[in-house]
């Protein structure tokens, strides 16, 4: 895969998880829920759903991912964490809506 599609995909996952995390934080009045949700639910469900358990072990499956797969996962996690940090800073700044 070329540089431009990987860059667009990484930015897209970052923005998508930041937006979803920001909205969840604002509606549920939580701070770190989207980051926990991403690590504890979304990543394992994605890995488990595409894993062919009959032909390979978990470690072989994880090693079959490429750099672009890990970059999109890290970008999504960074977006979720940054949304929690942004909500926290807005609350500390005195914004009652968040």
Question: Model-level pTM?
Answer: 0.85
Number of domains in the chain: 1
**Which residue intervals of 29-66 are DSSP H helices?**
33-37, 43-49, 58-63
Q: How far is CA 35 from CA 17, 18, 66, 78, 84, in A?
A: 9, 10, 23, 8, 8
The verdict on residue 58 lying in a domain is: no
Residue 97 has pLDDT above 90, yes or no: no
Domain of 13 in residue numbering reads as 1-44+68-87
Highest mean pLDDT: which of 34-38, 61-65, 72-76? Answer: 72-76
Angle at 23 between CA 22 and CA 27, to 5 degrees: 120
Range scoring the smallest mean pLDDT among 2-11, 48-57, 70-79: 48-57
Q: What is the pLDDT of residues 9-62, one digit of tens each?
A: 999 999 999 999 999 988 888 888 888 888 899 888 988 888 888 888 888 888
Those residues with Cβ within 8 angstroms of residue 72's Cβ, 6 or more apart along the chain or in another chain: 9, 10, 13
In a domain, 78, yes or no: yes
49 found inside a domain: no
Residue 60 lies in a domain: no
* The pLDDT of residue 70 is above 80: yes
């Amino acid at each position: 895969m070329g540089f431009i599609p990987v860059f667009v995909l990484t930015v897209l996952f970052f923005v998508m998880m930041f937006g979803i995390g920001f909205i969840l934080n604002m509606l549920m009045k939580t701070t770190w829920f989207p980051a926990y949700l991403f690590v504890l639910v979304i990543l394992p469900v994605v890995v488990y759903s595409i894993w062919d358990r009959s032909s390979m072990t978990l470690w072989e499956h994880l090693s079959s991912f490429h750099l672009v797969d890990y970059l999109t996962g890290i970008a999504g996690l960074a977006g979720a964490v940054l949304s929690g940090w942004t909500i926290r800073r807005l609350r500390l700044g005195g914004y009652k809506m968040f």
